[in-house]
Amino acid sequence: MNKILRDLLNYVIVLISLIVIWHIIALILNKAYVPTPLDVLERTYIDLVNKILIDNTMISLYRIFVALVFSTSIGFIVGVISIWARYRFVSDISKTLVFITYPIPHVTLLPILFFLFNIELSKIILIAIITFYPIALSIIEWSQRFPKDLADIISLMGGRRTELIRYVILPSSLPGILTGLRISLNTAYAVIFIAESMVGNNGIGYLIYWYWQRLDYTGMYSAILFLSIIGVSTYLILLKLEKKILRWIY
């Protein structure tokens, strides 16, 4: 309990410090494009009551959720194949494909996706592509960190490759999978702004861009603040879930 209270106190101190620094900067600059925290909080309350923030955020979260389901599933499959495929050449090709395509600036693929798919699907595919790599790379790395002795015992007892993956590789890869998922989720929040602001008429990213274009800086900060709160909240939830699942580590 003391540790929980201490962590909570640290969060509160940091949050208050950031708000105070923000307020001081706003007073010093005295510009419309840097509103005070109180003005932004008031606008956030108004947009919440009007459901502007809620409706657009739910649309964005839906896109992120669908994209993460695809990227996590495919990332896990590709990650396992890259290390544990029955045929070596399949493993080598899969791993090489991941490593070669990873450095590509994937956001630039959005115009091409617009040509190939409809606008809505293009946004989801872009998020899925970008969030795929942290998961796949984490699994490739962590799936090799398994207890060799346990794997030898399963092999000596006549265990199949699927049983080795299920009882040895998967538990060993779990920390990497959860870490990759947290990184992917935070990346998805950044990508959603780019995807929604380029084309569309809904979503929290579009809302931020729309306020920006109208020079409604208080509304823009309000949407950014709300998206940041959602991002921090989901990150802490996943971190708490990770600590609960990986009790032997934490």
Q: Which fold has domain 35-245?
A: MetI-like fold (1.10.3720)
What confidence tens digit (pLDDT) does each residue in 63-109 have? 999 999 999 888 888 877 777 666 677 778 888 888 899 888 888 88
| Dist CA 162 CA 151 (whole Å) | 12
Per-residue pLDDT tens over the stretch 202-227: 899 999 999 999 999 999 999 999 99
Sorted by where each begins, the domain ranges of the chain are: 1-30, 35-245
Mean pLDDT of 20-30: 92
Q: Count of CB atoms within 10 A of residue 67's CB? A: 25
Q: At what angle do helices 2-29 and 37-49 cross, to 10 degrees?
A: 110
pLDDT of residue 97: 87
Q: What is the pLDDT of residue 221?
A: 95
User: Is the separation of the CB atoms in 237 and 188 below 8 Å?
Assistant: no
> Token pair of 52, please?
């502007």
- Which tokens sit at 54? 């809620």
Mean pLDDT of the chain, nearest integer: 85
Percent of the chain with pLDDT over 70: 85
Residue with tokens 């108004």: 46
Least confident among 45-54, 79-88, 128-137, 177-186 = 79-88
Euclidean distance between CA atoms 127 and 241, whole angstroms: 23
Is the pLDDT at 21 greater than 60? The verdict is yes
pLDDT band at 42; cut points 50, 70, 90:
very high
